[in-house]
């Protein structure tokens, strides 16, 4: 008798659970959603995550809360996210650091282990910066100088990050730098200003004031197209080098999430990015960014292209810089 009761209870509990799952797809979301950001609080990625979370809260009617998980070049965040339940209540945002972590080997996952929803924004981009008295005015000159004086110029990079990718790419063009590991963007700016480094990569907002005071100068923009707010800075591609990385902000769901939920989220994000004037004004004011959107299908293509670029130099990334 007892076993019979137990089985009946189990069966009805299972049915209730299954029904609740079916219910969630239609009236998603019914409770608050967590958005994981792989960058620390205060930066431009975190800001964009919070912006989209704020407006998604309005669109979806449930609060979207941002959590920061930092470490391992975003590998720690990816790890935590991948194993989450695929009910759509946990989302993830990342940019190109996801690919560099994959190519470098820090993370065993890649973008295709998750479900991309869309691209909802675009960072201001990183530029190559040197002190104003550096004997070159563009990337060609930089590479020439590095060829003529191998190992003399100290290039600040962060292992496994986009700056590492750039260092490897420049090395492929024949430049020979003394590559010094230097940590975060702020450390690199200090290093350049203090004379401990000669060439760095940094975000435009971090160094634009130094350019205005005449201490630094910018040699080129690492994004694939020019920034609308800084149209005079030419890109590396325009200068003739096939090197670029775009700080596009991608929104992910866990693999296996109901496509209906993904479509709902995608539609909400699209509405915000294309129509919300308040959102546009806020991101412009903070980081000189303009709204940018790519839908699910296009996002997957873009991600594939981005990852392939990093994977192309995968062996060099993992080999380190050889002794000279």
Partner 1 sequence: MVVINRYKDIIACIALLLLSAAVYYNTGFIRVFEPNSASYINGQFFPYLLSGALCLAALIQLFNSIRELHRSPADKDSVISRGALIRIVATLVILAIYTALLSTFGFLIMSMLYVFVQVIVLSPKGRLNLPVAAVLAVVSSGAIYFLFTQVLTMVLPRPPFMPF
Partner 2 sequence: MFEQAVSLLMANPMSFFWMVIGVVIGIVFGAIPGLSATMAVAIFLPVTYGLTPVVGMACLLGLFVGGISGGLISAILLNIPGTPSSVATCFDGRPMALNGQADKALGGGIVFSFLGTLFGVVALIFIAPFLASVAIKFGPHEYFAVTFFSMSLIITLSSENLCKGLIAGLLGMVFATVGLDNIEASRRLTLDINQLRSGFNVLTVLIGLYAITEVLENCKNVSDNEDAELQDVTMRGFGISVKEGLAQWWNGIRSAVIGLVIGILPGIGGGTSNIVAYTVAKNNSKHPERFGKGELAGVVASETANNAGIGGAMIPLLTLGIPGDTTTAVLLGGLMIHGITPGPLIFEKHGDLMYAIFVLLLLSSFTMLVVEFVGLKGFIKVLKVPKYYLLPVIVILCAVGAFGLNSRIFDIGSVLFFGVVGYLMSRCKYPLPPMILGFILGPILEVNLRRGLTSSQGNFLDFFSRPISGVLIGFTLLYIVYSIYRVMASRRSILITE
Q: Which of 271, 199, 223, 315 is nearest to 55 (CA)?
A: 271
C-beta of 185 vs 317, nearer to partner 1: 317
Pick the closer one to partner 1 by CB: 124 or 179: 179
Tell me which of partner 1, partner 2, none is bound by residue 246, counting a contact when its beta carbon lies within the kind-specific cut-off of 5 to 8 angstroms: none
Residues of the shown chain interacting with partner 2 in the complex, contacts defined by CB under 8 A: 36, 40-44, 46-47, 50, 54, 66-73, 75-76, 79-80, 104, 106, 151, 154, 159-160, 178-183, 186-187, 189-191, 193-196, 205-206, 208-210, 212-213, 215, 282, 285-287, 320
Token look-up 């700056």 returns 163
Rounded distance, CA 314 to CA 318, Å? Answer: 6
Where does this chain bind partner 1 (CB under 8 A)?
Answer: 30-32, 34, 63, 65, 67, 85, 87, 151, 178-180, 319-324
Residue listed under structure tokens 């470098």: 104
Q: Are 97 and 199 in contact (CB under 8 A)?
A: no
Minimum distance from CB of 41 to partner 2 (Å)?
4
| Binding partner selected for residue 79 from partner 2, partner 1, none, CB under the kind-specific 5 to 8 Å limit | partner 2
- Given a contact cutoff of 8 angstroms between Cβ atoms, the answer to whether 94 and 110 are in contact is no
159 or 211, CB closer to partner 1?
159
Closer residue to partner 1 (CB): 100 or 179: 179
Taking the least distance from each CB to partner 1, the nearer of 200 and 233 is 200
The strand ranges marked E within 80-215 are 90-94, 114-122, 126-131, 154-157, 178-181, 199-203
Where are any strands of DSSP class E within 146-273? 154-157, 178-181, 199-203, 216-221, 248-254
Q: How far is the CB of 9 from partner 1 (least distance, A)?
A: 16
């Amino acid at each position: 008798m007892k076993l019979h009761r137990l089985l009946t209870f189990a069966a009805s509990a299972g049915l209730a659970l299954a029904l609740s799952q079916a219910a969630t797809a239609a009236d998603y979301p019914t409770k608050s959603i967590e958005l994981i950001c792989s960058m620390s609080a205060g930066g431009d990625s975190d800001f964009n995550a919070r912006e989209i979370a704020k407006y998604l809260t309005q669109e979806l009617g449930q609060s979207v809360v941002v959590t920061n998980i930092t470490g391992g070049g975003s590998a720690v965040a990816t790890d935590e996210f991948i194993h989450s339940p695929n009910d759509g209540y946990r989302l993830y945002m990342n940019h190109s650091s996801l690919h560099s972590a994959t190519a470098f080997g820090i993370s065993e996952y890649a973008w295709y282990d998750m479900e991309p929803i869309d691209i909802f924004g675009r960072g201001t981009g990183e530029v190559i910066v040197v002190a104003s008295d550096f004997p070159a005015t563009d990337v060609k000159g930089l590479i020439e100088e590095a060829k003529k004086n191998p190992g003399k110029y100290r290039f600040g990079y962060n292992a496994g990050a986009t700056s590492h990718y750039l260092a490897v790419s420049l090395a492929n063009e024949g430049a020979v730098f003394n590559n010094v590991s230097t940590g975060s963007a702020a450390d690199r700016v200090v290093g350049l200003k203090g004379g401990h480094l000669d060439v760095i990569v940094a975000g435009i907002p971090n160094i634009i004031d130094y350019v205005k005071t005449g201490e630094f100068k910018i040699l080129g923009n690492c994004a694939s197209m020019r920034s609308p707010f800084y149209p005079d800075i030419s890109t590396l591609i325009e200068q003739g080098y096939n090197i670029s990385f775009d700080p596009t902000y991608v929104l992910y769901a866990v693999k296996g999430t109901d496509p209906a939920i993904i479509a709902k989220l995608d539609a909400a994000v699209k509405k915000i990015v294309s129509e919300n004037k308040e959102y546009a004004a806020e991101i412009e004011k903070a980081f000189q960014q303009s709204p940018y959107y790519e839908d699910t299908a296009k996002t997957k293509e873009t991600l594939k292209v981005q990852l392939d670029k990093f994977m192309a130099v995968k062996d060099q990334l993992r080999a380190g810089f050889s002794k000279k």
